[in-house]
Structure 1
Amino acid sequence: MALGRSLSCALACLIALPGAGEAQPASATPAAATVSATGQSQEIFPTPRHVEAAKGHLDLTAGIRIVAPPGDAAASRIAGIFGQWTAGRFEPAGGAGAALHLQRADGMAPETYRLDIGPAGARVTASDDRGLFYGLVSFWQLATASEGRSIAAQRIDDGPALGWRGAMLDSARHFQSPRYVRSFIDWMAAHKLNRLHWHLVDDQGWRIEIKAFPKLTGIGAARRPATAPGAPPLPEYRGFYTQAELRDIVSYAADRGIEIVPEIDVPGHALSAIRAYPEWGMGVPVPPGTEADWGVFPWLYNSDAATLAALETILAEVIDIFPGRTIHIGGDEAVKDQWRASSATQARIAALGLKDENALQGRMMSRLARFLEAHGRTAIGWDEILEGDVPQSVAVMSWRGIDGAIEAARKGHDAVLSPSPDLYLDHIQAQHPGDPPGRGGIISLASVLAFEPRPAELSPTERTHILGVQANIWTEHIRTEERTSFMAFPRLSALAEVAWTGHGSKDYPAFLRRLMPQLDRLRPLGLEPSSSAWTPAIAVEPAGARARVALSVQGGLPVQYSVDGGPPLPYNAPFTVDVPAEVAAWALLDGRKLGVGTTRRLTAGGLQRRDSRALETCQHKVDLVLEDDFPAAGPRAAFLIDILEPCWIYRGAMFDKVTDIELGVGQLPFNFQVGKDRDAIHFRTPKTPAGEFEVRLDDCDGPVIATLPLAPAVSNPGVTRLTAPVAPTTGRHDLCLTYTATGPDPLWAIETVDLLQREPR
């Protein structure tokens, strides 16, 4: 849209809008307050604070002009975003069409706006840039919902309940292109989120150009991914952002109401920096390839004056690139073993009169916080910084549950709630085959929506220190940009709803009614979100000569199904079908199909096949869905595995007529920094040089009913099918599947389990 043509229009040409006497309150309740006379205000996302219906409609068929105040450069840039997001679909022809005016007004609270829509035009009124932008976003939502026809006349008074509405994007573990980051910012902005916490450095990669220390990106931005022993090496992984690229992204975000909060993690998560500048570390050698590991590393920055000065030099360049108020300085997961073992560090602790290593970390963090404060910035760190007595000016990001935020608020620190696992979006959303890898333990869309951002344990005064909430997208196991989008949305949409309204919600269907139009309007902006939350799971098992089918979906939504393309049937309980058959299932929202649903082909020989995600791990110590390390390009297998106790349970196997068992198995590198936990990983003694999978009946101490030697799989970097006869068994039993080994590297993992009936000869 050529918006510049309309910018010279003075405010005197504002259109006539409905007055207060014409407006009719839709409802006093928050949910109904968003419903206008035609229901179109239901399209505003997140839920607006207050809506009043008015008479008439604004006709959009001739287009809409966005009019900024003369000389207001920020408003002009905001106006231009409407044209970018709509690809000019609403551009008026020949000067025709209505006008939406952006107007400044003193005295309105930060980030709040008023949107007036009448038959003659519309107006957004706000005091600050974010308020203007959010009003424009709401108008965009209404306009796209009506497909450019008309918008019901109404007045919307809206603003956020919480000031920090954030998402953390981890670009250190897996790098996202500048193009993708700008798209991610657009998707955040469309949800009225306002903080992008950018995790730019970690053990696995340094992604921000620092001109004073070029080896940070020359060495620290590269790694070669880990592979299982004997597997072909994967290509080198490399990527970082130049300062010019970062400044462009910062400006792009600012125009969309988003402050970028960069993170430079201290004193732990420092391996990429220490690889580049070993003198900053503790002098402990780094074995080649360690940077390809995941987990909690023992390598820390030292506390020497020269290292602290180098960190201040880095922060000075960070400050120059990122103009926002807040800089994140980490502070989490700093294993102090190397400090404890260092006589120089112990002497420094004694000379400074400090109690212990935690106090030394606190002194380091305090120095960096004061450096930032002297440059007009505020430091924020993970909740471990409370262990080191940092200044009260330092804000706290609570990730180990919400206790860190509670402690911080009671001590007078500002705090952001970002708890694991509640708001950790690297957790899987479902156990659907084909979903991308991630941490085990499902964090559902409904659970994020229900999250309460104001701890009940705090007094009203203490709650004023709770700045807001943030969801984190850690990318150890999120290798691609497409998967990042899948894992982030729509759960980040639920977080936006919680942050804007200030409370969780258990009205899942009402949320979905607002969510679906929001996702539809974001697809033209490149977002392909997950549909796992409303995709039914289809579980099958033998029922004599037939198949018993059970359907389930998150959130208690109603489900319909069909068999072999037949008429849709309501699902109320498990049912049986003849095989072969094709079962299709889909969730319903207000009686209408939600998403595309799912289909499963049932065959007599496949009724007892289980994908690893349909199994259970035995101990749930560290459950992960991991991707195979082979091949370098193309699809890879995925495995559910507990890396500290590789052991699986197959529930309720029917053994009548079963003669054989087939496992699809793959090998993975044990590239996990788990400290002493590695020493606790034990296996049964192998009976053959390569080891073997053992299948035990009923429990993990039960009799072995099948043994599958691993020798055929050792030289195969991909998935190998192993088959073995099963001891004659009848009835229904649980199975425990484990393997024998001399150590955890490689890890063997199960992709599929098949119980087979061999045809008699």
Structure 2
Amino acid sequence: MKKLLLIALLALPFAGSAQAPALIPQPVQLQPGKGTFAITPSTVIVARDVEDGRVAGMLSDYVKDRYGLALAIVRQDRADNAIRFNTRRFMKAPDKDAYYLQVAANGIAIEGDTYAGTFYGLQTLLQLLPPAAFTKPASVSDTLKAKVKPGKSKVKTQARPVPPAVTITRVVVPQLLIQDYPRFKYRGMHLDVSRHFFPVSFVKKYIDYLAAHKLNYFHWHLSDDQGWRIEIKKFPELVNTGSWRHGTIVGRYPGTGSDNRRYGGYYTQDEIREVVQYAAGRHISVIPEIDVPGHSSAAIASYPYLSCFPEEPTVIPSWPSEGSRRAQAAGRPKQVQETFGVFNDIMCAGKDSTFLFMEGVIDELVALFPEKYVHMGGDEAPKSNWKRCPHCQARMKAEGLKDEHELQSYFMRRLEKHINARGRTMMGWDEILEGGLAPNAVVMSWQGERGGIEAAKQQHYAVMTPGKPLYFDHSQTRTDDSLVWGGFNPLDSVYAYEPIPAVLDSAAARYIVGAQANLWTEYVSNPAKVEYMIFPRMSALSEVLWSPKEARNWPSFRNRLLTQFGRYAQWGASYSKAFYDLRGTLAPGSGNARLHWILKRVNGPGTIVYEGGGAVYNTGLDSVVVPITREGTYRAYTVNGTPFFATAKNKGVAQLPMPRPRARIELTPSNNPTSLTFRFSKATGKKVTLAGTSSRNYPGQGAFSLVNGIWSAKGLSYPDWLGFLGGDVDATIDLGSSEPISTVRVHTIVQEGSWVYAPEYLEVHVSDDGGNFRQVGRSSAFTPDTLTMRFLTLTLPAGTRARYVRVLVKNYGLIPEGKPGGGTRSWAFADEILID
């Protein structure tokens, strides 16, 4: 039976014989030639051992399916009209998976220092081949092309027709010479299958995507609060109970209800072995993750004794389903979680039965996964239950542990000892540093780079995976075109990321072994949405991790990405087109304009069109300053067409210089339209200063975000939010002159599952000179805006006048134990201040 083809084996044409091809990731050295080599039916593929023969078979299958050319695979070398694969087995302990690729007039040679290197050489060759003449899909799923509908996480699929077969006699490849090797040993991608489950067929396709980008680690997140996804024969209830939930919240947390649909799935051990073997054939190591002691609701629902308090019902904080309510009423208090966030019911660290359970799970894991790493999570484990658990307190006393953080360290060290005894190395998220790092553990630094820096200084290996910019569940576009988790991680931020922090010296830097991007799937419910979230960011990641730092060049990558988009299309993969979005910033206006919307076309063809204020302008420009003269919705995009200006009402509309007005015509945007709704107050467009600094994860557009006339209706994914972890929002606005003012409102957000609590109060101080302020009021009055957003409002004393207005939004402070995030500092957010 013929092998499943690599999705990686699809490529676009080389642009010219004396021009560098559009390869991603960029090779270390590339020397273009002047001629070509033609693959014909008489060309043979030479592979002199079994491992090279597997790579040869992948190429043979590809050219057969894509071009109709049946190339023989032979062991006997020949000088002419051959594609030769040769792994240099005589090399002793090669440091890198290097390869050498030469396309000459008489043939193609690929030599690898390792078998992985030879495989990477094949991946590069595939990008040099011309477009396929016809396509025989590798699987049924490849015949489906998915399209993401704006504002939705679900997608519709439609059949993609297969072009008819044609006769091909030559496939032309440009001559060149490449010498290449990876910069980092660890080049990873993560996939969460717990929040949403994906079948084996798609997991294999996901692995193919990694292979196409020369990534070599697949981090498989197999358990969490919302589902347990791996068969453990010693504990059958993990799949009978833990892999199914009674329902899922609808919409972004806290949601608008429950869908009340039983949801789940799991991988049998035979399916696990199948995936591991499939990945190994592509030189990808699979790292399993079982997340403990937190994020364990699914395991606890299966075996309640794992909880500190087995008889206490699972708290589903938002829209519990009818099924879970019935189950709890029937005497089954522990349930698989149905919403998203961080939960207090974690594994008990005081009971030996917890460790016996985990040791049994680990024993079956190491039998299934030959990779040296086993990931044990360790993140977001609230300590409130441990503080009131007699078993945990007894454990702390017996072991001489001073607090619950040291108890977590004890928990992780005990697991690591069992893992090390089986010849493996434990990985964990950076919280495993709390209370002391396990002796041999590898740290994944997700809360910024601090954890990785600390681990490296302690001479522990670390993988960098900071939420900014390597969480691919965050939006790629400012327009929030589908339901995503909070945050904004655009393509250029991914490409600009440097995994080795500048603060590390050369001795510590060597402990940073690489980086990884993570895709959490709370709002990613189907394969097409997975593709949409990872592409094109995975391509940027691949170049960050493979290519030399000095070779990275954003303008070059941007140009090569246009070819890469064609590859995505040939793969039948959905992908984000935010690359073509206009870049927009807001600034104070002048004259009769309250604000200036500064728009720039960065990528792709076309000129800027904007609509607003009763007019449509086709500017004919690729950058423009739009005057915002009145409240309302303004829309901008690019088109290919003749500049014009059209309006039904010209009065009060600022006009840009352009040809004579013509009647309005319908325009088809060539990118995602950017739309902003402006609403004015006395603060809009005024000078504003901040006391303190917002989080780098939520920087908004700086202080000006608070007075730019726009605010979010979509939650934390909106990029205008200023976020303060444990700090206050403290802003002073200069109105320009003394003005009568009666109310101050601040737009904020409350999302307790994400540790965002309602501020304590709003306090306002006023001044005429900017130096001497007097307090004029304090309020904790909230007016609802959307489900999670509110206005914090203060009515001022009659007759209040001021030029300077200081607005203080007091942070909630330390979150009490028993609440989401208990024991940590709350976030405070604001994205607009309105003064009237």
Question: Same fold per TM (> 0.5)?
Answer: yes
Shift of 1:397: 1.1
One of 248, 260, 266 as aligned partner of 1:240: 266
User: Equivalent residue of 2:242, what SS?
Assistant: coil
Name the SS of the counterpart of 1:384 in structure 2. helix
Matches within 5 A, 1:140-539: 140-144=126-130, 149-223=171-245, 224-226=247-249, 231=257, 233-283=259-309, 285-287=312-314, 289=316, 291-303=337-349, 304-432=351-479, 434-440=481-487, 442-503=488-549, 507-536=553-582
Tell me how far 1:263 sits from its aligned partner: 0.5
- Partner of 2:129, secondary structure, is helix
Give distance in 2, aligned partners of 1:504 and 1:116. 24
Alignment match, 1:82? 59
Residue 86 (structure 2) pairs with residue 103 (structure 1) = yes
Q: Which shifted more, 365-374 or 261-270?
A: 365-374
- On the 8 A contact 2:87/2:114 being kept in 1, the answer is yes
Tell me how far apart the structure 2 counterparts of residues 366 and 309 of structure 1 sit (CA, whole Å). 14
Contact 2:225 2:295 in 1 (8 A): yes
What's 1:673 paired with?
A: 753
Q: 1:620 to 1:214 in 2, by over 3 A?
A: farther
Q: Percent identity?
A: 31
Residue 47 of structure 1, aligned match among 5, 16, 26: 26
Letter in 1 for 2:714: F
Going from structure 1 to structure 2, the CA distance change for 1:215 and 1:92 (only over 3 Å counts) comes to same
Deviations 1:618-669 (A, max 9, x none): 9999989xxxxxxxxxxxx982358999x9x9x9xxxxxxxxxxxxxxxx9x
Match of 2:105 among 116, 119, 128: 119
Shift of 1:538: 8.0
SS at match of 1:421: helix
- 8 Å CA contact 1:145, 1:517 repeated in 2: no
- The 8 Å contact of residues 85 and 525 in structure 1, kept in 2 or not, is answered as no
Which deviates more, 208-217 or 86-95? 86-95
Question: Is the 1:36–1:51 Cα contact (8 Å) retained in structure 2?
Answer: no
SS at match of 2:448: coil
**Aligned-partner residue type, residue 156 of structure 1:** I
How many pairs does the alignment contain? 643
Counterpart AA for 1:640:
G
Greater alpha carbon shift after TM alignment, 186-195 vs 294-303: 294-303
Please report how far the alpha carbon of residue 510 of structure 1 lies from its aligned counterpart in structure 2 after TM superposition.
Answer: 1.2
The 3-state SS of whatever aligns with 1:431 is: coil
| Residues in 2 aligned to 1:408 and 1:154: alpha-carbon distance in whole angstroms | 42
1:95 to 1:471, Cα distance in 2 relative to 1, 3 A: closer
Deviations 1:59-93 (A, max 9, x none): 136586543324x1x33333333356667224425
Partner of 1:67: 46
CA 1:93–1:378: 2 relative to 1, 3 Å: closer
* Structure 1 residue matching 2:177: 3-state secondary structure: strand
The one-letter amino acid of 1:515's match is: L
Structure 1 residues 676 and 142: CA distance shift in structure 2, 3 A? closer
SS of residue paired to 1:292 = coil
- List per-residue Cα deviations over 1:79-110 (Å, max 9, x = no partner): 33335666722442586994322112132543
If the length of structure 2 is used for normalisation, what is the TM-score? 0.66
Question: CA offsets, 1:414-458, max 9 Å, x none?
Answer: 111111222112221222253342213x21211111111122222
The Cα of 1:120 is off from its aligned counterpart by 1.4
* Deviation for aligned residue 1:144: 3.6
Q: Distance in 2 between matches of 1:212 and 1:2?
A: 36
Matches of 1:384 and 1:694, distance apart in 2? 32
Q: What is the 5 A alignment of 1:676-695?
A: 677=757
Aligned to 1:22: none
What residue in structure 2 maps to residue 92 of structure 1? 69
- C-alpha distance in structure 1 between counterparts of 2:602 and 2:380, whole Å: 34
Letter in 2 for 1:225: T
**For residues 499 and 561 of structure 1, do their structure 2 counterparts lie closer, same or farther at Cα, with a shift above 3 Å needed?**
same
Tell me the TM-score normalised to structure 1 length: 0.72
Judge conservation of contact 1:398–1:404 (CA < 8 Å) in 2.
yes
Shift in Å, 1:161: 0.7
**Aligned-partner residue type, residue 222 of structure 1:** W
Change (3 A) 1:391 1:469: same
Check whether the contact 1:64–1:90 (CA below 8 A) recurs between aligned residues: no
Q: Unaligned regions of 5+ residues in structure 2, if any?
A: 5-13, 74-79, 134-169, 318-336, 611-615, 642-668, 681-689, 700-711, 734-748, 763-778, 798-818, 821-831
Contact 2:83 2:107 in 1 (8 A): yes
Distance 1:452 1:537, change over 3 A: closer
Aligned equivalents of 1:229, 1:376: Cα separation in 2: 44
State the Cα distance separating 1:599 from its structure 2 match. Answer: 5.4
- Give 1:431's aligned amino acid: R
- The DSSP-based 3-state class of the residue aligned with 1:640 is coil
Q: Structure 1 residues 353, 192: closer, same or farther in 2, change over 3 A?
A: same
Aligned mates of 2:783, 2:617 — CA distance in 1: 50
CA distance 1:671–1:551, shift in 2 (3 Å): closer
Deviation at 1:324, TM superposition (A): 1.1
Conserved in 2, the CA contact under 8 Å of 1:64 and 1:91? Answer: no
Offset of residue 402 of structure 1: 1.3
Cα 1:282/1:46, change in 2 over 3 Å: same
Task: Tell me: CA distance 1:397–1:693, structure 2 relative to 1, closer, same or farther (3 Å).
Answer: closer
Code of the aligned partner of 2:103:
I
Does the residue aligned with 1:43 lie in a helix, a strand or coil?
coil
- Say if 2:529 and 2:574, in contact at 8 Å, map to a contact too: no
Secondary structure at the counterpart of residue 300 of structure 1: coil
Alpha-carbon distance between aligned partners in 1 of 2:593 and 2:794, rounded to the nearest angstrom: 32
Partner-residue secondary structure (3-state), 2:208: helix
Aligned residue for 2:124? 138
Tell me how far 1:677 sits from its aligned partner. Answer: 4.2
Alignment gaps of 5+ in structure 1: 5-34, 589-594, 610-617, 625-636, 652-667, 705-743, 746-752, 754-761
The Cα of 1:702 is off from its aligned counterpart by 6.3
Determine if contact 1:623/1:643 at 8 Å carries over to the other structure. yes
Corresponding residue SS for 1:123: strand
Deviation at 1:125, TM superposition (A): 0.7
1:573–1:103 distance in 2 versus 1, CA, 3 Å: same
AA matched with 1:133: F
CA–CA distance in 2 between the matches of 1:275 and 1:101?
A: 55
Distance, in Å, in 1 between the alignment partners of 2:594 and 2:759 is 45
RMSD in angstroms over aligned alpha carbons?
5.2
- The one-letter amino acid paired with 1:104 is T
- Please report how far the alpha carbon of residue 497 of structure 1 lies from its aligned counterpart in structure 2 after TM superposition: 0.7
